[in-house]
Structure 1
């Protein structure tokens, strides 16, 4: 499958800059996580990729060519808000949507039944969408994005409202699609899930892409952190050490950022002064910690 390219895309709403020259590529067979705070520009970028919105400048390309209406019929899109007909039954609705993308009636039925079974909706196949639980509506929404066997998947908060079993099912589906060469991009606030699933991640803040790369690249660039578990230490014990910033402080351990000139043995000595030390070691920051740091511009 070809790559999906977002090239210097900008969008304004009056005085509000929704996107400011955003560029990233979702490669063939790649799971790309698109993360940012509410209002950062994720949904706007996805809608522009799908042609739901027009960009003020920049271009969306698929396989090196500008995306056209015909190209977009090969895209699978899952909006954050429900995009289904609430009074229409599940099976007829999926068949209808597949036919809109060019499948014959027989092909549409086969594909709809396949995804209904795969996503655990067999007992709800003839229910009206509005009578389903929110989690099952989300499953139908995913089926609607997949039913025409798309060449690209663009999913806005696909894991929202799903129970852990449904999250596993959807994760497997996305991995399967990527394994078949489909570029998959999705947004999510569940950063642990993004960290586990994605090959690369883009972080957007106030309409600008401020970080992009694999988890290892992003967290590696942030440097390592020190984890210290000193059960007898009083809260704030590490704040008195020059050049040390407390990232988090919990009963299971304190996570610290050290300036380059700080000797970690100084920290160990301070911890031992409070009593026994059960854990002392380096680790890379998690994606959630990196995200908090990036979206606040380095300020806590």
Structure 2
């Protein structure tokens, strides 16, 4: 279980996060929504210990440390692939950083490329791929070591509907394998389709939280006004 308690973060005079609280159970998908600058990426960077923060964050009732990182899959919003590497080299390199040996990862690569319909051979260099295919390779790098906690920052950005569906299916498969998953998105339809719960941030504070159905129902219209002309 991922547990975030009283998370706050200030950059100088700017309050990026203020008293953010939530938990994500194994096998649960949580959507993190909000405008640009609401604090979504800062929340992710806090979970990953990329920056100092106030509050408490734990995974399986333990602080997140370097050892924990081997069980985390993180897809940043910006592409962070090495353009001169081949697809295979890139996937193996990042898997080895997660303590997965090359001999374990290499036999899986062809199946993953087929699963995500990557238009390219594993011997192709990253720089020769389209942006969409680079996004899919980066997603493979995020998932191939079978993480138990998956953090996806705007994973649908730049993907057409067909490739977005491939990503959704991969996320749902990870859920079936009991991973705890959190992702940010500007598209509420993506959240409604696959999330069990959601958190909405506004200016660094939680303004909505709960199951998708409960949040939707809280905005149900109880009165209808008709105007004649």
Match of 2:26 among 19, 25, 28: 28
Give the Å deviation of 1:107: 0.3
CA deviations on 1:66-109 (whole Å, 9 max, x unpaired) are: 11110122100000001111211111110111112111221021
Partner Cα distance (1:113, 1:122) in 2? 12
Contact kept in structure 1, 2:29 and 2:197, CA below 8 Å: yes
Alpha-carbon RMSD = 1.5
| Structure 2 residues not aligned, in runs of 5+ | none
Match of residue 51 from structure 2: 53
Listed as ranges, the matches of 1:75-114 within 5 Å are: 75-114=72-111
Partner Cα distance (1:212, 1:114) in 2? 37
Listed as ranges, the matches of 1:187-202 within 5 Å are: 187-202=184-199
Match of residue 3 from structure 2: 5
Are 1:166 and 2:163 an aligned pair? yes
The 3 A distance-change label for structure 1 pair 223 and 122 is closer
Match of residue 152 from structure 2: 155
Listed as ranges, the matches of 1:158-237 within 5 Å are: 158-224=155-221
Provide the aligned length of Structure 1 versus Structure 2. Answer: 229
CA deviations on 1:16-55 (whole Å, 9 max, x unpaired) are: 0111111111111011100000010000100111122221
Contact kept in structure 2, 1:103 and 1:148, CA below 8 Å: yes
Contact kept in structure 2, 1:4 and 1:63, CA below 8 Å: yes
Match of residue 15 from structure 1: 13
Contact kept in structure 1, 2:120 and 2:129, CA below 8 Å: no
Give the Å deviation of 1:130: 1.9
Match of residue 125 from structure 1: 122
Partner Cα distance (2:181, 2:75) in 1? 11
RCO (CA 8 Å, sep 6+): is it higher in 1 or 2?
A: 2
Larger Rg: 1
Give the Å deviation of 1:122: 6.2
Give the Å deviation of 1:5: 1.2
Contact kept in structure 1, 2:30 and 2:197, CA below 8 Å: yes
Q: TM-score normalised to the size of structure 2? A: 0.95
Contact kept in structure 2, 1:49 and 1:60, CA below 8 Å: yes
CA deviations on 1:104-139 (whole Å, 9 max, x unpaired) are: 221021233332222112633222212211111110
Q: TM-score normalised to the size of structure 1? A: 0.73
Give the Å deviation of 1:167: 0.6
Instruction: Could you list the structure 1 runs, at least 4 aligned residues long, displaced by more than 4 angstroms after superposition.
Output: none
The 3 A distance-change label for structure 1 pair 27 and 193 is same
